[in-house]
Amino acid sequence: VTCNGKRKSKKTEKNMIQRIQTVYLILVAVLMTLAAVLPVAEYFDVAKNIVYQLDMRGFVQLNPDGTFLSAISTNPVTFIFGIILVVTIMTIFKYKNRKQQFRLCTVNFLLILIYTIVLAVVIFVGKNKLVGTELTLKIPAVFSIVALILNYLAMRGIAKDENLVKSMDRLR
């Protein structure tokens, strides 16, 4: 029920989930999932002909034919990714409460920023630990930065919607 006593139609509630920030948040979830599933970096040891990949499992050592040999876990990166995914999905479904959606989006922004920093540290610590390897960053390495930008755009969209609703309330 609105302030003037009329009921909101189902159509109005259905249209609220079709806002542009929902698209941004869905793209954040997709990009972060791809960044976790796909290899982010690759280390190649020329002398031993061994490839190490950094993905959700951690540092994965591969045989020359590409089969799995062993893995060293990077749990903090995976844990932060899990939290980001949960917060992003919660944010998408909080479309009826813009203030709470904005707060969750802000938390998600900080989590993605922390994820990006931790991932960069893990990449370069791995380079120092795997002496004699050549580091190659893969395309998914920038997905978290793109997700950060999309999350910011979603925050801006939510703020615009909230300001629009406040201005409409002032006109009544």
**pLDDT per residue as tens digits for the range 116-151:** 999 999 999 888 888 888 999 999 999 999 999 999
Largest CA distance in the chain: 76
Instruction: Calculate helix-pair angle for 98-129, 20-37, nearest 10 degrees.
Output: 20
**pLDDT number for residue 14:** 47
pLDDT of 165 reads: 82
pLDDT for residue 130: 85
Instruction: Provide mean pLDDT across the span 156-162.
Output: 89
Q: Which helix (H) or strand (E) holds 59?
A: strand 58-62
